[in-house]
Structure 1
Amino acid sequence: METFNDIYLNLSKQHGVARFAESGWGWKPSGGGDTFTLDHQQILSAQWSRAARGYEVKLLTRADGVIQLDGFKQDDFDRVAKLFKVWYGIPLENKEHALRGWNWGKAEFGKAELSFNVSNRPAFEIPYTEISNTNLAGKNEVAVDFSLTDGDAKANGLGGARGRGKKSAGAKDQLVEMRFYIPGTASKKEKNEDGEEVTDGEDAEEQNAAQLFYETLMDKAEIGEVAGDTFASFLEVLHLTPRGRFDIDMFETSFRLRGKTYDYKIQYDAVKKFMVLPKPDDIHTLITIGLDPPLRQGQTRYPFLVMQFKRDEEVNLDLNMTDELLETKYKDKLQSHYEAPIAMVVSDIFKGLSGKRITKPSREFVSHHEQAGVKCSIKANEGHLFCLDKAFMFVPKPATYISMDNIASVTMSRVGGAMAASRTFDITFTMKGGMAEHQFSNINREEQQPLENFFRAKGIKTKNEMADDSGALLAAALQDDDLASSDDGGAARGSADEDDESVDEDFEAESESDVAEEYDENHQSDSDDEMADGDEGDASGDEEEEQLVERPKKKQKTAK
């Protein structure tokens, strides 16, 4: 047995002891934790190169892809090379990296990683297990997204030879995206019977080099359909967040969103919330999925997916699943055939495959219009606020989730002046622990009582600042009703105070002949009343205020 101390496995935060024997090798962290072992038959090749903490041995394995052992000293090369040759029958290749610092080179797809070579030397390598997504960012540009740090990997400090995205757990900062500019065209390589790639010079298919790079990376990193059999597919589903139409493919452990520009593969483990929300328009149903880590489009993060389905749209679907698998693993969870509204089918299949609980609006809340949500706004963004049993959810943009456990109090207030306040009000959630507050505005005043009753039922401390100005609200409501019916008449009284009656008569005669009858009937009747009674035009300011509160009687319009 050969033993090496201070060795780091897959960029782990803590070092450990690596022991090699004839049957295989193992690594144990010095601070205690899980031991990693590998049988010698799993090793395909080995490479020695300079690395971050000295020298590393990089192994290509059958099941776990690329495994890195970092921290060897330069004098250890002879010992490591001898044990690999004698015990495993594998030569230890000494490989030097390109140090010129060039950002142009040639990309080479290996069995387990993508290598970027400069002058036939690797500048860097990217294991396929670290790639979460790729998309065409332009005609000649391909964007590669890397998996975000896994929570379990953070806890134990181990790298992730057996999981996606866990190698980056050893670093505080993390590279999340890389873009390749690939000009020109390239020939598509076909595989022969032995699995080797060959190119026929005469029949070679020329296509955009960036497109070929993108398709090859999708295949190698298992982002596309090669990840497994598709159990169910839904085409061109409208997404409100992120905006666009995506095809949804559901697999055993993940689901995929396929759009015209972006493709995403999302593991069911990344789904933290799943909500089915009936939209208050009685036409659509919203399915909202909370993700951690969130979805990324360039610099924009989307912690929630918001899908919209028509309630009357039904789907007839047969699951692409064997009867044996359906009976053994998904018994009482999935059905072989579905014939129901599409929103119900999507939620049932998702629940069966992922095992996630579906959250629906609370039965304790019913709006004034007998809906599960109320219309409101966050700043300039309109949407709907839904009351759940343990939280509040605003959709579609920005999708906001507020847990009741984090709410200190809620304040109901009016803003925007007397007329605006008579129709709408605002609610503000003050959060515990100094968290940023959430304000929802432009809520219909008819929803005040249902919301206030729900807050009290859930034991949320409620402050109603609208109760202090009930008298002002009554005056504003009366003024609002008066202006809604005879808004133009008030303007006519103001002009009568400034101009003489003869001008008004001439103006009225002209409007009587030129303006269509359906344009504004109230305008003519009010103007006729004012011209018939000249005292109204000479009324004082106090009398005009009384007229705003007490609606004046209209005289019957006479034909001229």
Structure 2
Amino acid sequence: MTDAFLEFNDVFVEETGVLVQGSVKLSDSSVAFRNESTGKVLTAPVAELHGVEWARLATTPGLRLVFEAPDDDHKAMQRTNLRIGGFKEKDQERISKFIENNWNKRVKEREHSIKGWNYGEANIKGPNLEFSVDGKLAFEVPLTNVNKCVAAKNEATLEFQDNDDAPVALTEMRFFMAEEEQGEDRVEAFRQMVLKYAGIETETGQAVATLEQILCMTPRGRYDIKVYPNHLSLHGKTYDYKIPTKSITRLFLVPHKDGRHMYFVISLNPPIRQGQTRYHYLVIEFVKDEHVDLELGMTQEQLNELYERKLEREQSGNTYEIVSRIFRALVNMRITVPGNFVGHSGTPAIACAHKQASGFLYPLEKGLLYIHKPPMYVRFEEISTIHFARSDVSTRSFDFEIELKSGSTLVFNSVEKEEYNKLFDFVSNKGLRIRNAKKMEKSYATDRFAGSDDEHDAYAETVKAEGKEKMADSDDSSEDDSDYDLDKDLEKRRKLKEPDEFSGSEPDEEFDSDANSESGSEEGEKESDGSGGSGGDDEDGEERPKKKKKSEPKEKKERKKKEKGEDGEKKGRKTKAKKDPNAPKRGMSAFMLWMGEARASLKKDGDSIGDVAKKAGELWKTIEGDEKKKWEKKAAEDKERYEREMKEYKKNGGGAVAEASSSGGAEREKTKKKIGSPQKSAKSKEFVESSDSESDSDDKPLKPKTKETKKESSASGSDSD
């Protein structure tokens, strides 16, 4: 009994100088090699297989699958030979038996030339260049890797594509050819064969499509893009790029978070390079509503022949749709679009940052796409674990960490908390392992740190409405507020702050009110001894700063004492009127009445008050017509009910609590007027009366001083000096 298929792991395929690891599956109809790093599957049909050889590849045995086709079959000629290495010696018998039974092919053993000579025969067999020495194969080069072919007098130079992953890269190879006697130009013939199978097209040919001033996010700038059958040409103000079509590995089309732009992403391997900078992705941004009419640069017959009737010559529609359609036919590859994931913003995009550069993360069906610094695509097969970091702290964001099987870690920070549960469910459904496997119970729909940029916060409006109701109840029960006169209140405050007519003519620091008070404190006695006994000290400028330093703290203490009563409570402040529990309940608005009835249907398990209020606010905006008029009518009836009950309430003597509180406030105002300002007790120089504090220093009463007395005292003071 023969096997239906054979599968081998830990094998490799040589690709532009790199041994790509993966697995191979041999079936009765095809050969499929799956790239371990990228997940890309390379499939070759058995029907196009010309021969199978068992040969040495690197240091291990391998299979060499030779594909050839007739000259008129252009597409079949584009398939290069497939060389798969990494097998073991014991696998030869098993593989040979399977191929003979299922493919009807005999596996031949192929020997290689190990002489190391550089003189031999160069044969172009389809898209493969074979160099043989003494009839044995020395090396083989796929012509699809050739980037340029230049012919000189007696030699042809092949330039190859760069591969950054290759430790040692082949960049150039030269073939010297002696002239024949017949005068045939062998170099030019060799060059034409290379160009035919290498798929190299010069820009002198007709472009399939020309797109002008296309905005590219990576590399940054606006470029004129010319699409040729075998490559793309990007012409910018500073740099130009040439991208072979065969280097395109994936295509993505995703929407911007704002809903007005679209991203078209082209994955490149090998990447394009500018200096030391390498661009693995070409990110193009389109305006979603931008419309264009485009005529392709080929006839309809040519398009049907090259692209199997997938393109029409006349193209009309949105720019991003036309470009996607052209690349879909050009590369013959499916375009990856977002799946079923929808974030908090209603789009598949999640706003985040990577290495302090903001961008968008797109959870797709088979991986995660990040745009745009740097753009990257992470397949689920490459992910080892996922961690939701900083998700248990009271912040508005968390970190989304991805640990790859290679050992490296990718961190996407500043992800909004509203995206936590949605992203958690998505990752769980994909079967990925989560380190902190716990779903967030608390909802962050109404964040306490939310700013004023929010369009509508129903919860905040509900709280404001309740506060207005409480304030309105207190306003109705207070008679003082209804008779409030702003001019009188300002005049009253001005009189309390201004000193009397005598104290206003002299500075406060010269005559301290504490010196003339009846308290008889020790500090007052000391100050009266130094300043109240003679007028010479009052006129001396050196003593004033000292007296000011002593009097200022006393004035503050005295004012605090006068402002407070004996029990220490502050006076003069208006207390809030107490609400009468028997007062009628105020009328409710139409929204509050409707919300009271709809609250039960809106609330779900786990919803907070803010969630319900937000849902109610959004739903209330959509209610119109008779439904809304019904609730407005109920609100009007409730308002009439309140006015009717309020009249009855006041008629029966309601509001006694408010009157008592207001009368208490009036008594305090009277007390405040009696106390007055601390500055009113200050005396002018012309009318200084005796006090108890002054009697301690001098038994004789002081007479009112006149201007002459001041002159005499100053004169005597000068004489004594």
The structure whose Rg is larger is: 2
Between Structure 1 and Structure 2, which shows a larger proportion of strand residues? 1
